[in-house]
Amino acid sequence: MRRTMTTRATVRHHPHDDAPDTAAAFRRLTALPACPEREALRDEIVEAWLPMADRLAGRFRSRGESFDDLRQVAALGLVKAVDRYDSELGNAFESYAVPTITGEIKRHFRDHMWTLHVPRRVQELRNRVRYASQDLSGTTPGRRPTVTEIAEHAHLSEEDVRTGQEALESFSALSLDAELPGSDDGYSLGDALGAPDPALDTVVDREAVKERLAELPERERAILYMRFFDDRTQSSIAEELGISQMHVSRLISRCCGRVREQVMRDQEE
């Protein structure tokens, strides 16, 4: 019959009174080959240490993530700690598991909670500024701590404090439909964004025909300029040049056709 693992607290000193004594279980786990008995023993060890994982997850419950999700992340870190722990090194499992689980939770915040990618240095500055602000809030009643006060308390430069303060507001992205602060008419961030200039679509075309337009006779160039740049009517152009409106129309069509053919030929070459 398979032996069961004892999980009650012993007289050995632990950081927490409910820390289970799993030293013998880890020695058995190391000695067992891959088999159902080993998997069952591993599961028992993980279950015994779950209260500690939940306690570590609780330290991060005020940071915008649900506690259930934090517990799952902490449990994953616990499983990794159990799989990687080497009992033969002589160190207590708890001393190895706590930083492993805490690191897993911090990686979760770093990799999954930020809407935009933020460099790790900025994330660390954000945390140091946040902790310093919390520490100083009790010493500066009625007002927020200044940048200088936070810098002195956190041993940071004032520039780093400002960077951390900006990151405090950058944990999640602002919707383009969100109303801008101080706006009384529903003016949103999306309304403040510019739009592509439609003239940009004609830049390539203008550059493509520039050389061929320069090769046209002076009168044809003048007609095209007045028609397409001055936006004048064919009748006004005809009146200025002393020719018929029909003749202006034929010249415009002939010039445009010639330039088009030359540009298409240039592109094929």
Name the CATH topology of 23-113: Rna Polymerase Sigma Factor; Chain: A (1.10.1740)
Q: Where are the domains of the chain?
A: 23-113, 115-172, 200-268
Q: Note the pTM of the prediction, 2 decimals.
A: 0.45
Please report, as a single letter, which amino acid is at residue 204: V
Task: Say if 23-113 and 200-268 have the same CATH topology.
Answer: no
pLDDT of the residue at 46? 93
Token reading at 103: 């690191």
CA nearest 161: which of 140, 130, 115, 139? Answer: 130
Q: What is the pLDDT of residue 4?
A: 44
DSSP secondary structure, 47-59, as one string: HHHHHHHHHHHHT
- pLDDT at residue 98 in the model: 93
| Integer Cα distance of 133 and 153 in angstroms | 9
3-state secondary structure 98-157: HHHHHHHHHHHHHHHHCCCCCCHHHHHHHHHHHHHHHHHHCCCCCCCCCHHHHHHHHCCC
Domain 200-268 bears CATH identifier 3.20.20.80:
no
Q: What is the DSSP letter of 22?
A: -
Residues of the chain with pLDDT under 70: 1-18, 64, 111-118, 169-174, 180-184
What tokens appear for 165 in the block?
């303060």
Predicted local distance difference test score (pLDDT) of residue 183 = 66
CATH classification code of 115-172: 1.10.10.10
pLDDT at 169: 66
Q: What is the pLDDT of residue 6?
A: 42
